[in-house]
Amino acid sequence: MVLAKQKQVIDIKLVRDKTMGPIAQSSRELSHSNIKLFTAAQQVSPANRALDNRETLREQLRERLPRLLQTTLELEQQLKLCFQELHRALKVDGLEYSHNNENINLSLGRRATHSCSYRLVTERDFNGEICFSRRSRFDEEELQLIESTLGQLAYPLRNALSYRQAVQLALRDPLTGVGNRIAMDNALHHELQVTQRNEQPLSLLLLDLDHFKKINDTFGHSAGDQALKHAADSIRHAIRDIDQVFRFGGEEFVIVLRNSNQECSTMVAERIRARLESMQCQFQGQEIPVTASIGVATYNDKETIRDTLQRADQALYKAKDQGRNRVISLD
Protein backbone atom coordinates (compact mmCIF):
# COMPACT_ATOMS: atom_id res chain seq x y z
CA MET A 1 0.00 0.00 0.00
CA VAL A 2 1.39 3.41 -1.00
CA LEU A 3 1.72 5.94 1.77
CA ALA A 4 -0.09 9.24 1.18
CA LYS A 5 2.22 12.12 0.41
CA GLN A 6 -0.14 15.08 0.50
CA LYS A 7 -0.01 17.51 3.39
CA GLN A 8 -2.46 16.81 6.16
CA VAL A 9 -3.10 18.30 9.57
CA ILE A 10 -2.98 16.05 12.59
CA ASP A 11 -4.87 17.34 15.61
CA ILE A 12 -3.17 15.91 18.69
CA LYS A 13 -4.54 16.88 22.08
CA LEU A 14 -2.22 16.25 24.99
CA VAL A 15 -3.65 15.52 28.42
CA ARG A 16 -1.02 15.98 31.09
CA ASP A 17 -0.81 14.94 34.70
CA LYS A 18 -2.06 17.75 36.94
CA THR A 19 1.25 17.70 38.79
CA MET A 20 3.24 18.50 35.67
CA GLY A 21 3.10 22.28 35.93
CA PRO A 22 1.25 25.18 34.30
CA ILE A 23 -0.59 24.72 31.04
CA ALA A 24 -0.57 26.69 27.83
CA GLN A 25 -1.80 26.52 24.26
CA SER A 26 0.47 26.14 21.25
CA SER A 27 0.62 25.22 17.60
CA ARG A 28 3.92 24.29 16.08
CA GLU A 29 5.23 22.94 12.79
CA LEU A 30 7.52 19.93 12.76
CA SER A 31 10.07 20.77 10.10
CA HIS A 32 10.89 17.15 9.26
CA SER A 33 7.34 16.40 8.07
CA ASN A 34 4.29 18.17 6.71
CA ILE A 35 2.34 17.48 9.87
CA LYS A 36 1.19 20.14 12.28
CA LEU A 37 0.70 19.24 15.94
CA PHE A 38 -1.86 21.15 17.99
CA THR A 39 -1.20 20.51 21.68
CA ALA A 40 -3.29 21.39 24.72
CA ALA A 41 -2.61 21.26 28.45
CA GLN A 42 1.12 21.60 27.90
CA GLN A 43 3.88 24.06 28.75
CA VAL A 44 5.56 24.56 25.37
CA SER A 45 8.82 25.67 23.80
CA PRO A 46 9.87 26.26 20.13
CA ALA A 47 9.75 23.07 18.05
CA ASN A 48 13.13 23.70 16.49
CA ARG A 49 14.88 24.12 19.87
CA ALA A 50 17.74 21.69 20.35
CA LEU A 51 16.94 18.71 22.52
CA ASP A 52 20.35 18.86 24.18
CA ASN A 53 21.49 15.41 25.19
CA ARG A 54 18.39 13.79 23.64
CA GLU A 55 19.16 14.99 20.12
CA THR A 56 20.98 11.75 19.38
CA LEU A 57 17.97 9.71 20.48
CA ARG A 58 15.69 11.83 18.31
CA GLU A 59 17.92 11.29 15.27
CA GLN A 60 18.00 7.56 15.95
CA LEU A 61 14.22 7.48 16.14
CA ARG A 62 13.93 9.46 12.90
CA GLU A 63 16.22 7.05 11.13
CA ARG A 64 15.06 3.73 12.58
CA LEU A 65 11.33 4.01 13.08
CA PRO A 66 10.26 4.96 9.52
CA ARG A 67 12.23 2.02 8.14
CA LEU A 68 10.72 -0.34 10.68
CA LEU A 69 7.17 0.88 10.05
CA GLN A 70 7.57 0.18 6.34
CA THR A 71 8.00 -3.53 7.08
CA THR A 72 4.37 -4.17 8.08
CA LEU A 73 0.76 -3.10 7.53
CA GLU A 74 -0.39 -4.82 10.70
CA LEU A 75 -1.67 -2.28 13.22
CA GLU A 76 -0.57 -4.26 16.26
CA GLN A 77 2.94 -4.70 14.89
CA GLN A 78 3.31 -1.00 14.07
CA LEU A 79 2.33 -0.03 17.61
CA LYS A 80 4.68 -2.63 19.04
CA LEU A 81 7.58 -1.19 17.01
CA CYS A 82 6.72 2.32 18.18
CA PHE A 83 6.58 1.18 21.79
CA GLN A 84 9.88 -0.65 21.55
CA GLU A 85 11.66 2.39 20.14
CA LEU A 86 10.22 4.76 22.76
CA HIS A 87 11.03 2.30 25.51
CA ARG A 88 14.62 2.22 24.31
CA ALA A 89 14.85 6.00 24.06
CA LEU A 90 12.72 7.19 26.98
CA LYS A 91 12.13 4.13 29.15
CA VAL A 92 8.40 4.28 28.40
CA ASP A 93 6.71 1.55 30.47
CA GLY A 94 3.35 1.29 28.74
CA LEU A 95 1.44 2.12 25.57
CA GLU A 96 -2.33 2.01 25.22
CA TYR A 97 -4.15 2.51 21.95
CA SER A 98 -7.90 2.65 21.39
CA HIS A 99 -10.22 3.26 18.48
CA ASN A 100 -13.84 2.95 19.56
CA ASN A 101 -15.27 3.09 16.04
CA GLU A 102 -13.13 0.11 15.02
CA ASN A 103 -13.52 -1.70 18.35
CA ILE A 104 -9.77 -1.68 18.96
CA ASN A 105 -8.21 -1.69 22.41
CA LEU A 106 -4.52 -2.59 22.59
CA SER A 107 -2.15 -2.46 25.53
CA LEU A 108 1.62 -2.98 25.51
CA GLY A 109 3.90 -3.09 28.52
CA ARG A 110 2.54 -1.96 31.86
CA ARG A 111 0.60 1.18 32.70
CA ALA A 112 2.53 3.45 35.07
CA THR A 113 1.84 6.52 37.21
CA HIS A 114 2.67 9.35 34.80
CA SER A 115 1.14 9.53 31.34
CA CYS A 116 0.53 11.67 28.28
CA SER A 117 -2.40 11.02 25.95
CA TYR A 118 -2.97 12.05 22.35
CA ARG A 119 -6.02 12.10 20.11
CA LEU A 120 -5.07 11.60 16.45
CA VAL A 121 -7.33 13.26 13.90
CA THR A 122 -6.50 14.08 10.28
CA GLU A 123 -8.51 16.39 8.06
CA ARG A 124 -10.53 13.35 6.94
CA ASP A 125 -10.09 10.58 9.49
CA PHE A 126 -10.06 9.82 13.18
CA ASN A 127 -7.06 7.56 13.80
CA GLY A 128 -7.65 6.70 17.44
CA GLU A 129 -6.20 7.70 20.80
CA ILE A 130 -2.82 6.75 22.19
CA CYS A 131 -1.40 7.00 25.70
CA PHE A 132 2.19 6.58 26.89
CA SER A 133 3.07 6.07 30.54
CA ARG A 134 6.07 5.50 32.79
CA ARG A 135 7.08 5.68 36.45
CA SER A 136 8.73 9.11 36.21
CA ARG A 137 7.28 12.33 34.80
CA PHE A 138 7.88 13.32 31.19
CA ASP A 139 9.68 16.63 30.77
CA GLU A 140 9.12 19.06 27.92
CA GLU A 141 11.94 17.73 25.75
CA GLU A 142 10.72 14.18 26.13
CA LEU A 143 7.21 15.21 25.14
CA GLN A 144 8.61 16.83 22.02
CA LEU A 145 10.37 13.57 21.19
CA ILE A 146 7.13 11.64 21.64
CA GLU A 147 5.29 14.11 19.38
CA SER A 148 7.99 13.81 16.76
CA THR A 149 7.55 10.03 16.89
CA LEU A 150 3.79 10.38 16.48
CA GLY A 151 4.43 12.48 13.39
CA GLN A 152 6.34 9.54 11.92
CA LEU A 153 3.65 7.10 12.97
CA ALA A 154 0.67 9.06 11.62
CA TYR A 155 0.62 7.95 7.98
CA PRO A 156 1.65 4.31 8.54
CA LEU A 157 -1.01 4.07 11.24
CA ARG A 158 -3.67 5.48 8.92
CA ASN A 159 -2.69 2.97 6.24
CA ALA A 160 -2.71 0.13 8.77
CA LEU A 161 -6.26 1.07 9.78
CA SER A 162 -7.33 1.11 6.12
CA TYR A 163 -5.70 -2.27 5.57
CA ARG A 164 -7.40 -3.68 8.67
CA GLN A 165 -10.78 -2.40 7.47
CA ALA A 166 -10.25 -3.96 4.02
CA VAL A 167 -9.32 -7.32 5.55
CA GLN A 168 -12.33 -7.27 7.85
CA LEU A 169 -14.68 -6.43 4.97
CA ALA A 170 -13.33 -9.40 3.06
CA LEU A 171 -14.12 -11.64 6.05
CA ARG A 172 -17.62 -10.31 6.80
CA ASP A 173 -20.99 -11.36 5.49
CA PRO A 174 -22.32 -8.13 3.95
CA LEU A 175 -25.92 -8.73 4.99
CA THR A 176 -25.61 -9.75 8.63
CA GLY A 177 -22.19 -8.35 9.53
CA VAL A 178 -21.03 -11.64 11.06
CA GLY A 179 -18.05 -13.60 9.77
CA ASN A 180 -18.27 -15.39 6.42
CA ARG A 181 -17.08 -18.88 5.41
CA ILE A 182 -13.49 -17.73 4.89
CA ALA A 183 -13.42 -16.15 8.34
CA MET A 184 -14.94 -19.32 9.82
CA ASP A 185 -12.26 -21.52 8.29
CA ASN A 186 -9.55 -19.23 9.70
CA ALA A 187 -11.22 -19.16 13.12
CA LEU A 188 -11.64 -22.93 13.31
CA HIS A 189 -7.96 -23.44 12.53
CA HIS A 190 -6.94 -20.90 15.19
CA GLU A 191 -9.38 -22.13 17.84
CA LEU A 192 -8.25 -25.72 17.34
CA GLN A 193 -4.66 -24.66 18.00
CA VAL A 194 -5.74 -22.84 21.18
CA THR A 195 -7.74 -25.88 22.31
CA GLN A 196 -4.86 -28.29 21.76
CA ARG A 197 -2.28 -26.00 23.34
CA ASN A 198 -4.33 -25.21 26.46
CA GLU A 199 -6.10 -28.59 26.68
CA GLN A 200 -9.49 -26.93 26.96
CA PRO A 201 -12.83 -27.85 25.34
CA LEU A 202 -14.12 -26.42 22.08
CA SER A 203 -17.73 -26.70 20.95
CA LEU A 204 -19.56 -25.90 17.73
CA LEU A 205 -23.22 -25.01 17.28
CA LEU A 206 -24.85 -25.32 13.88
CA LEU A 207 -28.05 -23.27 13.74
CA ASP A 208 -30.72 -23.24 11.04
CA LEU A 209 -33.69 -20.84 10.96
CA ASP A 210 -36.87 -22.90 10.77
CA HIS A 211 -39.13 -22.66 7.70
CA PHE A 212 -37.06 -19.85 6.24
CA LYS A 213 -38.34 -20.50 2.72
CA LYS A 214 -41.86 -19.94 4.03
CA ILE A 215 -40.78 -16.56 5.42
CA ASN A 216 -39.47 -15.56 1.99
CA ASP A 217 -42.56 -16.88 0.20
CA THR A 218 -45.01 -15.26 2.63
CA PHE A 219 -43.40 -11.90 3.38
CA GLY A 220 -40.86 -11.51 0.56
CA HIS A 221 -37.09 -11.77 0.33
CA SER A 222 -36.56 -8.36 1.93
CA ALA A 223 -38.39 -9.66 4.98
CA GLY A 224 -36.18 -12.74 4.92
CA ASP A 225 -33.09 -10.50 4.89
CA GLN A 226 -34.51 -8.61 7.87
CA ALA A 227 -35.04 -11.88 9.75
CA LEU A 228 -31.44 -12.93 9.05
CA LYS A 229 -30.06 -9.63 10.36
CA HIS A 230 -32.22 -9.77 13.48
CA ALA A 231 -31.22 -13.38 14.09
CA ALA A 232 -27.50 -12.57 13.76
CA ASP A 233 -27.84 -9.70 16.24
CA SER A 234 -29.70 -11.92 18.72
CA ILE A 235 -27.05 -14.63 18.49
CA ARG A 236 -24.24 -12.13 19.09
CA HIS A 237 -25.99 -10.79 22.19
CA ALA A 238 -26.45 -14.31 23.56
CA ILE A 239 -22.78 -15.34 23.50
CA ARG A 240 -19.57 -14.19 25.17
CA ASP A 241 -17.02 -11.80 23.69
CA ILE A 242 -14.59 -14.69 23.17
CA ASP A 243 -17.17 -16.69 21.19
CA GLN A 244 -17.70 -16.16 17.46
CA VAL A 245 -20.59 -16.43 15.02
CA PHE A 246 -20.42 -16.99 11.26
CA ARG A 247 -22.94 -17.22 8.47
CA PHE A 248 -22.46 -20.71 7.09
CA GLY A 249 -24.74 -20.23 4.11
CA GLY A 250 -28.36 -19.34 3.45
CA GLU A 251 -30.16 -19.38 6.79
CA GLU A 252 -27.46 -21.38 8.63
CA PHE A 253 -25.05 -20.03 11.23
CA VAL A 254 -22.06 -21.60 12.98
CA ILE A 255 -21.25 -20.51 16.55
CA VAL A 256 -17.77 -21.32 17.90
CA LEU A 257 -17.64 -21.59 21.71
CA ARG A 258 -14.15 -21.45 23.18
CA ASN A 259 -13.44 -23.31 26.42
CA SER A 260 -17.01 -24.62 26.56
CA ASN A 261 -17.84 -28.27 27.19
CA GLN A 262 -20.86 -30.22 25.94
CA GLU A 263 -23.10 -29.36 28.87
CA CYS A 264 -22.32 -25.64 28.89
CA SER A 265 -22.59 -25.41 25.12
CA THR A 266 -26.01 -27.05 25.17
CA MET A 267 -27.14 -24.44 27.68
CA VAL A 268 -25.81 -21.66 25.44
CA ALA A 269 -27.63 -23.17 22.46
CA GLU A 270 -30.88 -23.29 24.44
CA ARG A 271 -30.41 -19.65 25.43
CA ILE A 272 -29.96 -18.71 21.77
CA ARG A 273 -33.00 -20.75 20.73
CA ALA A 274 -35.20 -19.11 23.37
CA ARG A 275 -33.92 -15.66 22.46
CA LEU A 276 -34.75 -16.16 18.80
CA GLU A 277 -38.20 -17.52 19.58
CA SER A 278 -39.03 -14.44 21.68
CA MET A 279 -37.37 -12.04 19.24
CA GLN A 280 -39.59 -9.29 17.84
CA CYS A 281 -38.93 -9.17 14.12
CA GLN A 282 -41.17 -6.86 12.13
CA PHE A 283 -41.19 -5.94 8.48
CA GLN A 284 -43.47 -3.23 7.14
CA GLY A 285 -45.70 -3.56 10.18
CA GLN A 286 -45.95 -7.34 9.96
CA GLU A 287 -44.65 -9.65 12.67
CA ILE A 288 -42.31 -12.33 11.30
CA PRO A 289 -42.20 -15.51 13.42
CA VAL A 290 -38.62 -16.76 13.83
CA THR A 291 -37.49 -20.00 15.47
CA ALA A 292 -34.35 -22.09 15.06
CA SER A 293 -33.10 -25.65 15.32
CA ILE A 294 -29.60 -26.10 16.73
CA GLY A 295 -27.12 -28.97 16.71
CA VAL A 296 -24.32 -29.14 19.30
CA ALA A 297 -21.01 -31.04 19.16
CA THR A 298 -17.81 -30.80 21.21
CA TYR A 299 -14.40 -31.50 19.71
CA ASN A 300 -12.44 -34.57 20.82
CA ASP A 301 -8.85 -35.43 19.95
CA LYS A 302 -9.86 -38.53 17.97
CA GLU A 303 -11.36 -36.42 15.18
CA THR A 304 -10.70 -33.38 13.02
CA ILE A 305 -12.53 -30.11 13.53
CA ARG A 306 -14.42 -30.87 10.31
CA ASP A 307 -15.62 -34.09 11.92
CA THR A 308 -16.92 -32.03 14.84
CA LEU A 309 -18.78 -29.74 12.45
CA GLN A 310 -20.23 -32.78 10.72
CA ARG A 311 -21.52 -34.14 14.06
CA ALA A 312 -23.11 -30.75 14.78
CA ASP A 313 -24.80 -31.01 11.37
CA GLN A 314 -26.11 -34.48 12.23
CA ALA A 315 -27.47 -33.15 15.53
CA LEU A 316 -29.14 -30.28 13.66
CA TYR A 317 -30.99 -32.67 11.36
CA LYS A 318 -32.17 -34.67 14.35
CA ALA A 319 -33.55 -31.46 15.83
CA LYS A 320 -35.43 -30.83 12.59
CA ASP A 321 -36.75 -34.39 12.44
CA GLN A 322 -38.05 -34.11 16.01
CA GLY A 323 -40.19 -31.07 15.22
CA ARG A 324 -37.76 -28.09 14.91
CA ASN A 325 -37.35 -25.20 17.35
CA ARG A 326 -35.19 -27.35 19.62
CA VAL A 327 -31.59 -28.17 20.58
CA ILE A 328 -29.98 -31.58 20.07
CA SER A 329 -26.50 -32.42 21.37
CA LEU A 330 -24.38 -35.31 20.09
CA ASP A 331 -21.48 -36.83 22.04
How many CB atoms neighbour CB 105 within 10 A?
Answer: 11
Instruction: Please choose, from the candidates 151, 166, 170, the residue with its C-alpha nearest in 3D space to the C-alpha of residue 69.
Output: 151
Q: How far is CA 263 from CA 69, 203, 273, 280, in A?
A: 47, 10, 15, 28
First to last CA, the chain: 48
Q: How far is CA 180 from CA 86, 253, 293, in A?
A: 39, 10, 20
Cα–Cα distance measured from residue 97 to residue 231, given in angstroms and rounded to the nearest whole number: 32
Cα–Cα distance measured from residue 69 to residue 83, given in angstroms and rounded to the nearest whole number: 12
Q: Is 142 a catalytic residue?
A: no
Which alpha helices (DSSP H) does 137-261 contain, by range?
A: 140-170, 181-198, 212-219, 221-238
Query: What CA dihedral angle connects 170, 174, 179 and 180, to 10 degrees?
Result: -70
Cα–Cα distance measured from residue 185 to residue 45, given in angstroms and rounded to the nearest whole number: 54
Catalytic residue among 96, 141, 191, 251: 251
The H or E element that residue 284 is part of is none
How many CB atoms neighbour CB 200 within 10 A?
Answer: 12
Q: Which residues have a catalytic role annotated?
A: 251
